[in-house]
Amino acid sequence: MKGSLLQRVDQGVRHLMPMVLTLLLVFLDAVPVHLPAFALVVPLLPLVGIYYWSIYRPDLMPPAMAFGLGIVNDVIAGTPLGVSSLIYLLAQGMTASQRRFFHGKPFRVAWWGFGLVGSGAFLLQWVLVSALNGHRLGFHPVLFEFLMTMCIYPVLSWLFARAQLALLRSA
């Protein structure tokens, strides 16, 4: 009996991994980088986490979690509260509903899918922040941020895959 309790705790902790990793990306995004070029184009790292786990373990990345991560992201980044939560929520919903399409497909298909979700996310963020500020923001930096996020996707996706193999294979 004791063994099974320990097992359950162990599994519970393992199941928190997608949330913890994505939360870590939220924090990582906020680390001040004192490099001139980098401060302008910052990839939206948490989106990669939301997307990846919504495809491969949607049970561990439910809508409420995406929403919560968005709230934390909004507070840290200083964006109007509700913007990131809506974007992460929609990204989760879109991806999780189409996830069967990605199963067993080569990596580049998942990358392409991320491109679709990512472009939608950035566009929506641009529209929402512009509307809430009552001023149309420049579009170029947003485009570069999107491209930067696309470039970082393979790396993070590979890391997530390693983590999934190591910690969630049995669960």
User: Which pairs with CB-CB distance under 8 Å and at least 24 residues apart come from 78-87?
Assistant: 79/125, 79/129, 80/128, 80/129, 80/132, 83/125, 83/128, 83/129, 83/132, 84/46, 84/125, 86/124, 86/128, 87/47, 87/121, 87/124, 87/125, 87/128
Looking at residue 31, the DSSP 8-state letter turns out to be S
Verify binding: residue 63, other proteins, rule CB under 8 A: yes
CB of 72 to other proteins, least distance (A): 6
CB of 127 to other proteins, least distance (A): 11
Verify binding: residue 20, other proteins, rule CB under 8 A: no
For residue 144, the one-letter residue type is: F
Nearer to other proteins, 64 or 166 (CB): 64
Instruction: List binders of other proteins among 21-40 (CB under 8 A).
Output: 27-36, 38-40
Name the residues that contact other proteins, by CB under 8 A.
Answer: 27-36, 38-42, 63-64, 67, 70-72, 75-83, 85-86, 89-90, 93, 125-126, 128-129, 132-133, 135, 137-138, 141-142, 145
